[in-house]
Amino acid sequence: MTDITTDKGMMWQPAESLSGDKRGHRGRPDLSDWGFLLVLLAAAAYGLMQYPAQMDGYEKAILVGAAFGLAWMGWLWRPLRTLFVLSGLSALLAIWLYADGGSLLQGDLARADQVFLLKYLLSSQSAILWMCALFTLATVCYWVGLFSRTAAWMGTGLTWAGVYAGCTGMLVRWREGHLLGPDIGHIPVSNLYEVFVLFALITALFYLYYERRYATRALGGFVLLVVTSAVIFLLWYTFTRDAFQIQPLVPALKSWWMKLHVPANFIGYGTFALAAMVGFAYLVKENGETRSLGKLLPVFVLGAILCAEPMVFGSRELSSTWMLYFGIGAIIVGGILALRRPIARQLPSLEVLDDIMYRAIAVGFAFFTVATVLGALWAADAWGAYWQWDPKETWALIVWLNYAAWLHLRLIKGLRGTAAAYWALIGLVITSFAFLGVNMFLSGLHSYGEL
């Protein structure tokens, strides 16, 4: 990456200066990369030997493929290796504590309320609550960090800590499901509670990658806003519906297809959300020196729609919780627009913001396409038809067509700038309805959650 000059005070510098690796983040595989692969393969071999009856041939292939996939990801972006190792070790500690020092194949869930580390740190619910708290604190630090480098560094650290806590919680939750019963345990991506955690983790991780890649922390406050919104919904859903309880899978979800379809789908959702918030930052940067709010009023309207969405998708009655959520969200969006001038001075150049937005949508579109194909194959396996125009399928197609059109116009007609940013924000509204609204507001084969 070449040097890019920026406005005075902007938190931007070449990525190589932060990474210390002039070859970029990838480089050639070294001994640590091969060692990491061997560790993952050893873990996969242990799983194959200890749990052969719990996996069919496809799931065994997915396990081995996951070892190579995680090693490849750790090679592409080496900070992931540290995350994988620390989360894995923490999950193993929790499993050992559940087993009370005995065989790791056994355990007692009652120990979650008896053992200090499990009760306050390592049980799935505790770890996920820590994730929620850390992401919220990170959001505050990122916004303060626009004017204080120390706070900006804290924002990055807290975001990494939140990702670590969330990954640990998801791994432990997987084990807790198996402790409930041999027919209950499953990969924790099966209901609204679990996929909201997955969405928050994927969005935060992709942001951290672009933060390091472009060496700027100025976007953290924007992107973490959508993560914090997911956290607020997750907390509300947890404490009003006891959504954290692990439930047996419905018959249609008892398939190895879920292990492939859902993660690919939420990589798309996470990157689309990231692109939308970068688009918001683009509009703030572009209009940072203007006195009129006329060009930014559509942003406020879009923000209000997004804030109101959970209320609209619920019982169709006014809720004090969501009215408060809507009001605070509107105040935050309005405050950002009112302070757009000092905020704009800290943001990267418009070219950099446009590039991040494009790359995020391109990655998300690729994974969403794969997820849609996998979903069709799964539907054929479960229901005997590849496509039935179920509401979820229809809205998935709408999301796919929306971003296909965005990419087509960019590559063929050179779509850039304001139009692309507004389109990315509108895309978030569409994606949010496909993600949340269909499950909550429409009935269909995919409606596995309700408010």
In 3D, which of 255, 266, 243, 267 has the Cα closest to residue 191? 243
336-370 pLDDT per residue, tens:
888 888 999 999 999 999 999 999 999 999 999 99
- Distance in angstroms (rounded) separating the CA atoms of residues 433 and 393: 12
Read off the pTM. Answer: 0.88
Measured CA to CA, the distance from residue 229 to residue 382 in angstroms comes to 33
pLDDT of residue 385: 79
pLDDT digits (tens, 9 = 90+) for 46-82: 888 887 877 878 888 989 999 999 999 999 999 999 9
User: Token digits for 220?
Assistant: 């953290």
Average pLDDT for the chain: 84
Q: Are 141 and 128 in contact (CB under 8 A)?
A: no
Sign of CA dihedral 148, 136, 83, 197: negative
Reported confidence tier of residue 245, pLDDT bands at 50, 70, 90? confident
Tens of pLDDT, residue by residue over 364-403, are 999 999 999 998 898 888 777 788 888 888 899 999 999 9
Residue 164 has pLDDT above 80, yes or no: yes
405 and 443 in contact (C-beta within 8 Å)? no
The confidence score (pLDDT) of residue 271 equals 97
Query: Where is average pLDDT lowest: 7-21, 44-58, 351-365, 421-435?
Result: 7-21
pLDDT confidence of residue 313: 47
Mean pLDDT lowest among 145-154, 303-312, 375-384, 392-401: 303-312
Classify residue 227 as exposed, middle or buried by CB count within 10 Å of its CB (0-12, 13-18, 19+). buried
**How many Cα atoms within 13 Å fall on the side-chain side of residue 123?**
22
Residue 252 has pLDDT above 60, yes or no: yes
Output 295 or 142, whichever has higher pLDDT.
142
Work out the widest C-alpha separation in the chain, in whole angstroms.
68
- For the cut 50, the answer to whether the pLDDT of residue 21 exceeds it is no
Categorize the per-residue pLDDT at 30 as very low, low, confident or very high, splitting at 50, 70 and 90: confident
Which residues does 235 contact at the CB level (< 8 Å), separation at least 6? 132
Q: Reduce the secondary structure of 313-369 to three states and give it as a string.
A: CCCCCCCHHHHHHHHHHHHHHHHHHHCHHHHHHHCCCHHHHHHHHHHHHHHHHHHHH
Residue-level pLDDT at 170:
96
CB within 8 A of 214, min separation 6: which ones? 12, 15, 348, 352, 356
Question: Which tops the pLDDT comparison, 16 or 373?
Answer: 373
Two tokens at 203? 């969005």
The answer, yes or no, to whether residue 404 has pLDDT greater than 80, is yes
Contact 91/188 with Cβ under 8 angstroms?
no
Tell me the mean pLDDT in the region 280-309: 68
Asked if 111 and 98 count as a contact pair (C-beta separation under 8 A), the reply is yes
% of the chain exceeding 70 in pLDDT: 83
91-142 pLDDT tens trace: 999 999 998 876 677 788 888 899 999 999 999 999 999 999 999 999 999 9
- pLDDT higher than 70, residue 272: yes
For 199-225, write each residue's pLDDT tens digit: 999 999 999 999 999 999 999 999 999
Q: What is the pLDDT of residue 244?
A: 86
Distances, alpha carbon 409 to alpha carbons 357, 396, 397, 429, in Å: 14, 20, 18, 20
Has residue 9 got a pLDDT over 60? no
Structural element, H or E, at residue 164: helix 149-180
Task: Give percent of the chain with pLDDT exceeding 90.
Answer: 50
263 or 441, greater pLDDT:
263
Q: Can you say how many angstroms the Cα of residue 151 is from the centroid of all Cα atoms in its chain? A: 23
Position 352: which residue type? V
pLDDT at 236: 86
Q: Can you say whether residue 24 is alpha, beta or left, with left for phi > 0 and alpha for psi between -120 and 50 degrees?
A: left
* Residue 85: alpha-carbon gap to chain centroid: 19
